[in-house]
Amino acid sequence: GAGVSQTPSNKVTEKGKYVELRCDPISGHTALYWYRQSLGQGPEFLIYFQGTGAADDSGLPNDRFFAVRPEGSVSTLKIQRTERGDSAVYLCASSLQGSTGELFFGEGSRLTVL
C-alpha cells in the first residue's frame, strides 16, 4: 500500500477483554515500531521489530501486552485483560533505516477501555 495502515481505527472494549490491533507497514520496510500516545503526550515506545524478531520489547508495560510479526510484514499488538489505563492511541510506524531514518506513522488505533 501507499502508507502504513492500522486497523481498527477505533476500538471500544470493556475492562478485562482481549484486543488485537493490526499494523500493515510500507512494503519493504524491515523496521516496525509500536508506540502509545496518551492525550497531550508524546509517543511512548512499546516495541521494535527488525524483520520477524522483536529487537527491543523494553517498552511493553507488563506481560498483558504482546506483539508479533510472524512474516516480517504485518504486525499485531495484543492486549490481554484490558484495563482503563490502557486507553490511548496506539501508533505503528515503519522505517527503512531503523533508528536513524524517517518514521512513517499510521493513523493510529484509538483504544477506549470502559
Partner 1 sequence: GENVEQHPSTLSVQEGDSAVIKCTYSDSASNYFPWYKQELGKRPQLIIDIRSNVGEKKDQRIAVTLNKTAKHFSLHITETQPEDSAVYFCAASKETGNQFYFGTGTSLTVIP
Whether 14 and 77 have beta carbons less than 8 Å apart is answered as no
Show the binding pattern over residues 80-109: x = contacts partner 1 (CB under 8 A), - = does not: -----------x------xxx-xx-xxxx-
Alpha-carbon gap, residue 77 to 92, rounded angstroms: 10
Task: Assign 3-class secondary structure to 25-73.
Answer: CCCCCCEEEEEEECCCCCCEEEEEEECCEEEECCCCCCCCEEEECCCCC
Show the binding pattern over residues 52-71: x = contacts partner 1 (CB under 8 A), - = does not: ---xx--x------------
Pick from 1, 28, 42, 70 the residue near partner 1 by CB under 8 A: 42
| Residue 41 binds partner 1, judged by CB under 8 A | yes
Judged by CB under 8 A, which stretch of 19-27, 43-51, 68-76, 78-86 contacts partner 1? Answer: 43-51
> Minimum CB separation from partner 1 for residue 80, in Å?
23
Exposure class string for 41-50: b at 16+ Cβ within 10 A, else e: eebeebbbbb
> Minimum CB separation from partner 1 for residue 3, in Å?
8
- C-alpha cell at position 26: 510500507
**CB closer to partner 1, 3 vs 16:** 3
